Structure 1
């Protein structure tokens, strides 16, 4: 065994001796030379802030609302790109600084509003996105003056150039108490609940280009003469009658002077003024196209000839107490109304019997009747041929809280060829299902049934012409 190994070693040494000398020296050098490690990969030096806004917008476009909010608050160099994404996604959604309510989440996003509950979050939101907000709602309920002073400063600093609509609710008298800057682009201003101090009552100063001025419910004014001014662009005005007990609303003299100074009003909404006063201001209402009147039973006392309002195309009347013949005592007559909305405690039947003459004299396209109390249990018994005769051009008929039968519904759908929307009440889901069977599976009508209110709304599908 040993002899065999020795022979193999001798043979290997003999073979190595046959190799060229240069090869043996190179192999020895490579064996003794240390192996160098490969150089490490270089670390990239490009940061996210080095990207242009187009690239950043493409990236941020995939983020949700909360992530956009956090990114904007993390680096000032990213605010512009995030703002563009916010403007593209959410510019049409109003922002409500509803910081008076305790909530676990600092914000809530809905299709109709962005709610901000946390005070710190509200200020950060204005700082980061104020330059793209167009519709802002400020709720001042149960908040201290120091916070709202800071909030108003942020609103003026970051939103004054972009806001188009602004609303104030539950004002505590400190709004705009120490600010001296106006909103040049605001067109719509809304006040609801709370007190307007003398500074805020300078509406022409704060909102020089206002077009829509709405004083909602329970607004106390330190200066009721604030509407007794000429507003260069005013088109819409909403006012409520003065209530001495609560010290809210406007005196009749305030409203009359406001109408005299602003003769180009197209939309007028008056609440709780007596019909006697409506007669007085009728000469200032000849250009009004959209008229809304809210009446109480004690406000209806009409005597004298009717006054024609030729330009009214949209009419809304709200009877706050049950008085079936109250609307007949209005001092007005109309001939060009295309849309009618009537809210009352009466039933549809009494409403229709009293308004059929009105129907025949106006080219009505949309009729919305809402019975607040009595309608659900009062079935409709008007014949379909009478409805189609008096409402030949109607495209939308909404009978809210009005119960009708299946036969009445199908008959009206078949007879009224221009109708595109029909709303009413059934007594049960079973009636709705029977109606769908009668209409057939192949039909141009489709609908929804709200079980909580037993309300049915049908819409006609548009058939494409070949």
Structure 2
């Protein structure tokens, strides 16, 4: 009996295997037919009223798996690549941009969205590269070995650049060679995209390494640079510049004249003792200036000579005036004026259309300030950063119906004088003043006519500064 049972069990196993093979063959045939079907098959709509879609679930599942296996990163669209690359480290982003041309557009978009508006500093002395945020703070530091790769891959997307050369009057041949190499790379890859550029402690040979102009640059700053005879060629390399800054000492040549910039609107100058003639020629060749800021060694006579060539000047700002003569300068078209750290015995400027005046005087020198302000009856905005404005009653001397905004941050007056001033200035809408006591401004608001209200209040250097608006 046991032998029969064993033989019967073997037969049963063989029968089961045959059934499985038949079933597998039929299933494979059905699957091949479903793979061959390319369009949905419709049944008789009258009988069933429904549509049957082919292929079936098995085909759809297999197709999805095949698509996942065959899809590559280069098949993803540019927007998805941008989102992927923005999460990468900067070194990985550089590697992607340099390794694959198909992925380069996505890497460009990621760089532009994260770093396009930021300023980049290339410091040759410390051999480092920095990225700055919109507030001017360093956020990212890049290895020095990646400097050329950075310029090659993303130089066409950079808009703000600062180049800090080695601070030495006699740099080594290696430093000069390194600086020339950087200059050539910047000029080759960033000439079309650069909008702002700053040079610090560059040599006269820097401009010699340039091959093509920076066509889009609108702002150029020089700090402690040796321009030499190349000063007259600045307009060649920066033809569209609108803001030019020489606010720090720079070495200039005595032989060549300054350059003419057709689009120059704002000029910032620091005049050394022996370089007045150079900057005088710069003003003479650019008479369409709208903003001029001067500091350094000059006097009223120099300003008079400059004002002859600046008839369209709208904003004038300068510091450290030395009025060694009795010369008076008349500026008929000047609209705004900023005076910083000045202490002349007799103010050397006269105006016809001055509307905004900002004064930062030297300490303990207030005798002439109220005289300056009282003569300008066309003023609409006045800002004074001193701690005192003349003696008692000086606030009423500057009262005018044309004043719209007055900011006397650290000045303190009697309450009656403040109320009278606010009533006389009928067009006044904003008034900032200092108070000894926090409750004094409430008395002023209650006694003055008009719907005045306090908008801000803060304590600085022991003074309660209150802003009131109407």
Question: Would you call these one fold, judging by a TM-score over 0.5?
Answer: yes
Give the structure 2 partner of residue 3 of structure 1: none
CA deviations on 1:200-223 (whole Å, 9 max, x unpaired) are 652122112223222121111235
Q: Contact (CA 8 Å) 2:408, 2:434: kept in 1 or not? A: no
Give the structure 1 partner of residue 270 of structure 2: 240
Q: Contact (CA 8 Å) 1:404, 1:424: kept in 2 or not? A: yes
Seen in structure 2, the aligned counterparts of structure 1 residues 58 and 390 have a Cα distance that, compared at 3 Å, is same
1:66-465 residue pairs with structure 2 within 5 A?
67=89, 70-76=92-98, 77=101, 78-88=103-113, 90-98=115-123, 100-101=125-126, 107=130, 109-113=132-136, 115=138, 118-142=143-167, 144-199=175-230, 202-222=233-253, 225-227=256-258, 229-244=259-274, 250-252=275-277, 254-271=278-295, 272-296=297-321, 299-304=322-327, 306-319=328-341, 323=343, 325-326=344-345, 328-330=346-348, 332-347=349-364, 350=367, 352-360=369-377, 362-365=378-381, 367-371=382-386, 375=387, 386=396, 389-390=399-400, 392-395=402-405, 397=407, 399=409, 402-404=410-412, 407=415, 431=437, 445-447=454-456, 449=458, 453=461
CA–CA separation in structure 2 for the residues paired with 1:201 and 1:387: 49
Aligned partner of residue 339 in structure 2, secondary structure:
strand
Seen in structure 2, the aligned counterparts of structure 1 residues 351 and 167 have a Cα distance that, compared at 3 Å, is farther
Give the alignment's TM-score, normalised by structure 2.
0.70
Seen in structure 2, the aligned counterparts of structure 1 residues 461 and 27 have a Cα distance that, compared at 3 Å, is farther
Give structure 1 stretches of 5+ with no counterpart. 1-5, 245-249
Aligned partner of residue 97 in structure 1, secondary structure:
strand
Aligned partner of residue 189 in structure 1, secondary structure:
strand
CA–CA separation in structure 2 for the residues paired with 1:412 and 1:311: 32
CA–CA separation in structure 2 for the residues paired with 1:450 and 1:160: 48
Seen in structure 2, the aligned counterparts of structure 1 residues 275 and 32 have a Cα distance that, compared at 3 Å, is closer
CA–CA separation in structure 2 for the residues paired with 1:319 and 1:56: 54
- 1:27 corresponds to 2:24: no
Seen in structure 2, the aligned counterparts of structure 1 residues 79 and 369 have a Cα distance that, compared at 3 Å, is farther
Question: What is the CA distance between 1:60 and its match in structure 2?
Answer: 4.5
> Which of 67, 70, 79 is the equivalent residue of 1:45?
70
Give the structure 1 partner of residue 29 of structure 2: none
Question: What is the CA distance between 1:192 and its match in structure 2?
Answer: 1.5
CA–CA separation in structure 2 for the residues paired with 1:150 and 1:426: 59
The farther-off stretch of 431-440 and 346-355 is 431-440
CA–CA separation in structure 2 for the residues paired with 1:188 and 1:74: 32
Q: Contact (CA 8 Å) 1:422, 1:457: kept in 2 or not? A: no
Give the alignment's TM-score, normalised by structure 1.
0.71
Q: Contact (CA 8 Å) 1:421, 1:459: kept in 2 or not? A: yes
Aligned partner of residue 370 in structure 2, secondary structure:
helix
Count residues with an aligned counterpart.
Answer: 411
Seen in structure 2, the aligned counterparts of structure 1 residues 348 and 273 have a Cα distance that, compared at 3 Å, is closer
Aligned partner of residue 154 in structure 2, secondary structure:
helix
CA–CA separation in structure 2 for the residues paired with 1:201 and 1:261: 11
Q: Contact (CA 8 Å) 2:191, 2:213: kept in 1 or not? A: yes
Question: What is the CA distance between 1:186 and its match in structure 2?
Answer: 1.6
Give structure 2 stretches of 5+ with no counterpart. 26-57
